Each structure stands twice: as C-alpha cells, then as structure tokens.
Structure 1
Amino acid sequence: MAQDKQFSIRAATPEDAAALISLIQELAIFEKYPDGPEINEDNLANDLRRHACYAFIAFHGEELAGMTLYYLGYSTWQGQYIHLEDLYVRPQFRGNGLGKKLIKAVAKVAYENNYKRLNLNVLEWNQNARNLYSSLNAIDLTKEEGWLVYRFNEKGIETLARDD
C-alpha cells in the first residue's frame, strides 16, 4: 500500500484510453470476469472523444493508481443524471481514500451541472465497495425502494428487434 496520500486526479482524454483499458481489465479480473471487456482502446478513445462517456484517472506520482468512468443518463422524474459505470483503485493504493476522491470528482461534476442523482451498481459480494458507498451516504435502492437491475444482452436485443 502506498504510504503517502499524494494522488493527482484529472479528467481523462482519448489519449488515456490504453491506460483506462488496462485498469478496466484489472477491474474485470477483480470482479471475477477474467475474459475482460469486449471494448478495445480505439472504441474507448472514440467514445471519450464523442462524449459517450467520461472518466477521471488517478496517479500516485507517475504510477497509474485508479480511475472512474461515467456517462450521462436521463430520468423522466429528475432530468439528466450521472451513472458511475466503473470505479477502480489498484490494490497497492487502496485504503488511502483514493476511491472516495474519485467519487467526489464525479459528484462535483453532478453538482456543478445541477444533476439530481449519481447512480451506480455494485456486486453483492463486494462488501468493501458497499461499505464505502454507504459511508458516503449512497442509498441502497434494492433495500430501501425495492429496485432490481435487469439487462437485455446482445442476443436479447437482437431477438426483440427481429420479433415482428
């Protein structure tokens, strides 16, 4: 674990796509999905360029320490909001408040743009992340409001689109 708490965080650019992909792959392994994401560096760079998503990247000195990736969504109840897709801190930098700093960077974007919420998903077994989010006053919508998350995967989308 890094002993000092000197981290620099900045908005990621398309030129950071390779670094972000490496962190996303580490996150996939941590989340027990070792085959990793289907997205590649070029796709991510293009998505950052066209503002399909946004990211913050963190360094400890020159060493890559973590990242968060988010995108804008829309609620018919509250308008635009942020969905925090990924938050990852490399193991050697955990326990120094970097996760909190990365979430705060995204929260600042939400606040400055008057977005009324910041949504995220967390794996049930990831108790450390759940504890972090709870400590920051995030609401567990499954517990508090009964919301469950569903997804149509690629095959499901194709089936729906072709079904006439």
Structure 2
Amino acid sequence: MNFAIRPATKADSQDIWRMIRDLAIHEKMLDQMNTTYEDLERDAFGQNPWCETLVAEVPGEDKSKEGFKTVGFALYFYSYSTWKGRKVYLEDLYVMPEFRGFGIGKNLLRTVAKVAREKQCAHLELSVLGQNIHSRSFYAANGAEDITARDDWHYLRFGPQSLTNFISCQK
C-alpha cells in the first residue's frame, strides 16, 4: 500500500482529533478524554506549540471506507533528563484498524526516531497500557525496552484535583 508520512499542519487538526478519539474508544478510556479539537489546534499548531505531530496519508484511491485519506498519526514532544539530556516522548501513535499491517505504524515510529536522532536526543520514550499486548509487542519487536521491571521506575501523575489540593496545602 502506498502512503506518505509528513509533518502535520493546522489543516490536519480535525483528522488528528478524530483519531485521538478513536484511540480513546479503542483503549476503553473515552470518559477520560477531555481534550477538545480547539485545545489540540491551539496546543499543536498555535504560536508556541506544546507538541509536534506526524500524519500518515494514503492516496485517494486507497482512502478509508468513511472517505479519510489521513489514516494515522504520531504525536510527540521534547523533554529533558538531568542524567541523559534531551529526549523525545511519544505520547500517541495510532493507525486506523483497516490500515494496520502495511508498515504505516512502523514508519511513523521510525520518523519520530529520526527526529530524535536529528535533535541529538538520548532517548525516545513512551508509555503503553499493560493491557495493550499488541502495542507492547510492536514496540518490543522494534527495539524498545520495557524498563519497568528492570529499573523499577514508576510513572506517577498529579491529576487536576491532586494539583489543586497540593497547591492549597499550607503544611
């Protein structure tokens, strides 16, 4: 199958948001998705972007049954390790189900990896839900290490209420 990987533009916002929603549905976590289309457009394509996105496109003759030519995306941002230096964090990589198995996901991941190398990053990092065995296998098959057990790192999060509680705590 023919496809192209390219940097996303503001005009891609609607397609990217559609696929983010599809991913949330797939992960059975739609109730946790609070990002709106407007948030994505502002944060990815505004004056000071918080993230960068790649999209995968197929030619018109290969479009999806719903008529979409944009069939995958990878959203990533830069971070910093005080021990290792620059790094890229891959927030999401998604390919529409009917377009899986054609190398689109692998090429999206490879393009993010190239960006990491071009930016002289020490790491490309990502998180995968434990239940998502297919994705965990995909990343492992492409060289990613699961450092959870090896290094005993735990991924922690302050949610909105936790942030508010912590900020207002005077002790």
TM-score with structure 2 length normalisation?
0.89
Deviations 1:104-162 (A, max 9, x none): 11011000010010110001111111111111111101122111211110000110111
Superposed counterparts of 1:34-113, under 5 Å: 34-35=30-31, 37-48=33-44, 49=46, 50-62=48-60, 63-113=69-119
Which residue type is aligned with residue 143 of structure 1?
A
CA RMSD of aligned residues (A): 1.2
- The separation in 1 between residues aligned to 2:131 and 2:3, in whole angstroms, is 28
What is the one-letter code of the residue matched to 1:131?
A: S
Contact 1:25 1:36 in 2 (8 A): no
**Counterpart amino acid of residue 128 in structure 1:** H
The equivalent of 2:13 in structure 1 is 17
Tell me the SS of whatever aligns to 1:106: helix
Stretches of structure 2 lacking an aligned partner (at least 5 in a row): 61-68
User: Percent identical across equivalent pairs?
Assistant: 36
Offset at residue 79 of structure 1 (A): 1.7
Number of matched residues? 160
Tell me which of 136, 141, 153 is aligned to 1:135: 141
Amino acid at match of 1:14: K
TM-score by length of 1: 0.93
Q: Residue by residue, what CA displacement relative to the aligned partner does 1:8-63 show, whole Å, maximum 9, x if unpaired?
A: 11101222111110000000001111335211122111112222100001112141
Matched residue, 2:63 = none
1:117 maps to 123
Q: Distance in 2 between matches of 1:129 and 1:7?
A: 21
Partners of 1:36 and 1:26 in 2: CA distance:
13
SS of residue paired to 1:29: helix
Structure 1 stretches of 4+ with a deviation exceeding 3 A read none
